[in-house]
Structure 1
């Protein structure tokens, strides 16, 4: 009897500790990258496209802050759908990327943005909802489909999935191996479902963003 009570008390204590760690983690870094870029993410063609653009910008060797700033500039210019992007000129896109300080890859990215818009229109009728998975079992198929988009690849596809999972809850919790390793380093569960149970409102995209930031050196935890 005594051992049973001690064990239950230990589990409860650990749960409180994990929940406090989760709270501090989300407070420190739980703003999604879409939110940071000014994207009000919904299951609609335009915000999903803007997330795809942000994913492309984040898939090069450039800081996230610059990718977010460049995404904001492209949206500010009005290129919030693939067709509107195609209505812009290459030089206009270069200039917008430059205003976001995305200068290292501005010219090649201006071209890739055009290729990406064509890819989305020709393969998915301009609407990423055509790729929405029916369940978590379809995550690999979604990753493969997104990886075909210019300059996305498997790594970028996983970035997209991390961000979109609260809008496409069939995908959630989407916490891939690098994030689970980071959770383990923070003495949190390294099982996606157990981690999701610790998130106060069940939204795993902020958790994915926070764990990503910790991997990249977020201080204060």
Structure 2
């Protein structure tokens, strides 16, 4: 590939990424009302959202359920553990998360108790584990998919995990004709935009009309 061809390809890729980010209303975390910082509350809220998103349920319902939990005061591990099982079920139901509400209410309670016991509710201590991703899998309700979702979001405040592009985000990259290398994708945006890019790629993987709109906009740019 000639230098000129490489430059044109990179310009095309950047146009696709910009069109994608322009159409993104916000990350799933932002839609759930999470102002992500490296502090216990926002990190825990991001973990709760990852648990909800990893179930076989629509993303918008998972986001709504997370907001309902947070609006009910369950914004950190201690408040989640102190809430009754029924209070958790009711909040999930208000968010439309009815198919998995009872099981998830139990998982959230057990997970909060584990985090309090092991890290005093502060996920920054999990970051200090020899293998934080492996430690995440100990949390009830967090499997490989949930761990990917959590790390995809927190890479903006835990830069040692960046660039973090999980399998679902790579599906979106393929659909948009973008590179499937995390490093090459990271080269298309400022580091601060990596969580937005990863999240946008997931949107593109799940929403074919969105991906087609992005490609059309990039071609006309």
Instruction: Check whether TM > 0.5.
Output: yes
1:203 & 1:187 partners in 2: Cα distance?
A: 19
Distance of aligned partners of 1:22 and 1:30 in 2 relative to their CA distance in 1, 3 Å threshold: farther
1:33 & 1:80 partners in 2: Cα distance?
A: 16
Q: Deviations over 1:137-196 (max 9, x none)?
A: x7xx22211111101111110110101101111110001344334323422222211111
Shift of 1:16: 1.3
Choose the corresponding residue for 1:11, options 6, 15, 19.
6
Distance of aligned partners of 1:21 and 1:79 in 2 relative to their CA distance in 1, 3 Å threshold: same
1:149 & 1:119 partners in 2: Cα distance?
A: 7
1:216 paired residue number: 206
1:199 paired residue number: 189
User: How many residues were matched structurally?
Assistant: 211
Aligned 8 A contact 1:162 1:175 in 2: yes
SS in 2 for 1:129: coil
Shift of 1:29: 3.1
Structure 1 gaps of 5+ residues are 1-5
**Does residue 167 of structure 2 align to residue 172 of structure 1?**
no
1:186 & 1:61 partners in 2: Cα distance?
A: 24
1:204 & 1:133 partners in 2: Cα distance?
A: 22
Max radius of gyration: which structure? 1
SS in 1 for 2:200: helix
2:108 paired residue number: 113
2:48 & 2:158 partners in 1: Cα distance?
A: 18
RMSD between superposed Cα atoms in Å: 1.9
Give the TM-score normalised by structure 1.
0.88
SS in 2 for 1:198: coil
2:61 paired residue number: 66
Q: How does 1:22-41 map to 2 (within 5 A)?
A: 22-29=17-24, 31-41=26-36
1:158 paired residue number: 148
